[in-house]
Structures are given as structure tokens and as C-alpha cells.
Amino acid sequence: MDILIVGGSGFLGRELAHQASASGHTVTATFTTRAGDIPGIHWLAMDLRRGEEITRALRKTEPDVVINAAYRKADWATTADGAICLAMAATQHGCRLVHVSSDAVFSGADVHYDESATPDPITPYGAAKAAAETAIRQLAPAAVVARTSLIIGDGDSGHEALVHDLATGRRKGVLYTDDIRCPVHVTDLARALLELASSDHTGVCHLAGTDAVSRHELGVLIAERDELDATMLTAGRRADSDSPGALNVRLDSTRTQHTLRTTLRGARDFLHRER
């Protein structure tokens, strides 16, 4: 397949590009600031805020599938409007679309969210992701909207960098014990997204790990895997802080998992350290 990975220079995008290329697909990956350095990938500068760049990219690459892994948290123009423009363009060009969304579309009021749950965001980021989802489902009903949770790697995600900084005293801060998510490993997530890209799935899919853990428990698991001093990680409660955001959001991926060959492991599994 010819695959266009929008946001290919990002954390998830790089893993998608790496796996897709290793599987023999022809891969073009986009960036806005800096091209990646994965061999065998065509890199293309493309800004989702510029409709003409989206059109040019699709004309140039003529992909079978577009995977949108791009976002900028505080930027509605990228995360909502840009994603919607991309969906319209992909539909016009007859390309399959896999759009990556987030558990941030949920408030946490209901705690457990399966694929049928209705978004009720409570942050600007969550609202941008929910707006993109709603529009894409109308404009591109054959698209996959894949919601995921905290994306963890083998040391290279932002979440792991934060834990390293806290555990070594480079940064001060707390990890919340009441802020609960279902983290996923980036290799599982990329594999599942590529599986969906080459399938005939449509609509909302959930691609989160099987374990619900707090930010603090996640930090301890990362610290233990990386042989850092987990006692350096200060526990706190988001409910007692001024920090806005959902508390307990558990994406239930059971329905999607039944349709996949890829196993979405839980954080306690993929962060387990052999002793």
C-alpha cells in the first residue's frame, strides 16, 4: 500500500512510519518543523492549517491510506480544523482515512468508556479532538476514528521523560494518584493502527491498554523498569490541585480488541521488568 502518515515526525508517527516501511509499504511521512531520519521514508513538509498543502500532498503521493497522527494540543486550527480539512480532502481523493483520537474526548464522569460512549470533553484539547471526530464521522463515514490513551515507549515518550526528570530531581512536581488512564505501548498502537488501515473497519475503535493505572503508578512502573529511585516520585491528587482535566477515564477496548490480531498489552505487562 501507499501510506501517507500525517504527523510522521511525531512520537506515534515515527513508529507508524518505521513499522509500515518494514512491512513493505511505500511510506510518505509529513512534518512541519523537522523531517525524521528513518531510512526508506519519503519526507514531506505539510501544515494542516494550510489547505493547499494538504491538497498538494495528496496529489503528489496519491496514497491508498492516510493516517492522521498529527496534533498540537493548544491549537484548534491544527487539531480540529486541520484534521477536518484532511478528512474532506482524503474523501475527495478516494483515500481510506485512519484518524487518531484521544481519551481526552471524555470527562471522566462515567469512568468506563467503550466505543459507543458519547464524547463530553471538559478541556479545549478534548473539545478539539471531539469536534474533529464528529465532523470526520459525518464527512468520511468509512473512516476509522481510533481513540487511544497515554502512549508509552521504551524510554522515548514525553511521559517517560517526565518520570526520568522527576526521579532524578531535574524537575519538581507531583504525579497524581487520582488521574487514571489505560496507557498503551507505542509499538502495539502503531501495529493496531496499521492493521485497521488495511482492514474494512469503519467508525470508532478503542486502542488502549488493558490496565487502568494512575499517573503515579505509571511513574513507579517506569522508574522500576529504568532502575530509577521510585521513592523520588511525589504523589499528589489532581482533585486537590488547580490543574484542569478529567480524572478517571478508562477506555474499554474490548470490542475493538476482538477484531484485531494485535494484542494491546496493559502497562503492568509492557513495563514489567525481568528481575
Ligand X SMILES: NC(=O)c1ccc[n+]([C@@H]2O[C@H](COP(=O)([O-])OP(=O)(O)OC[C@H]3O[C@@H](n4cnc5c(N)ncnc54)[C@H](OP(=O)(O)O)[C@@H]3O)[C@@H](O)[C@H]2O)c1
> Which positions lie near ligand X, rule CB under 6 A?
7, 9-13, 31-34, 46-49, 69-72, 78, 82, 100, 102, 148-151
Output 47 or 233, the one with its CB closest to ligand X: 47
DSSP characters for 117-146? PPP---SHHHHHHHHHHHHHHHH-TTSEEE
Output 201 or 215, the one with its CB closest to ligand X: 215
Output 233 or 251, the one with its CB closest to ligand X: 251
For helices 51-61 and 83-92, angle between their N-to-C axes, nearest 10 degrees: 40
User: Cα dist. 54→3, 5, 17, 144 in Å?
Assistant: 14, 12, 19, 19
Report the residue closest to ligand X, judged by CB.
Answer: 10
Phi-psi sector, 33: left (phi>0), alpha (psi -120 to 50), beta: alpha
**Taking the complex as a whole, how short is the minimal distance between the CB of residue 231 and ligand X, in angstroms?**
25
At 6, the amino acid letter reads: V
**Taking the complex as a whole, how short is the minimal distance between the CB of residue 157 and ligand X, in angstroms?**
7
Cα angle: 67, vertex 192, 222; to 5 degrees? 105
Q: Alpha-carbon distance 120 to 126, whole Å?
A: 8
Identify which of 130, 129, 172, 150 has the alpha carbon closest to the alpha carbon of residue 249.
150
**Taking the complex as a whole, how short is the minimal distance between the CB of residue 162 and ligand X, in angstroms?**
11
Residues 272 and 204 sit within 8 Å (Cβ to Cβ): no
Output 25 or 215, the one with its CB closest to ligand X: 215
**Taking the complex as a whole, how short is the minimal distance between the CB of residue 249 and ligand X, in angstroms?**
10
Output 105 or 174, the one with its CB closest to ligand X: 105
**Taking the complex as a whole, how short is the minimal distance between the CB of residue 89 and ligand X, in angstroms?**
13
**Taking the complex as a whole, how short is the minimal distance between the CB of residue 15 and ligand X, in angstroms?**
8
Output 78 or 91, the one with its CB closest to ligand X: 78
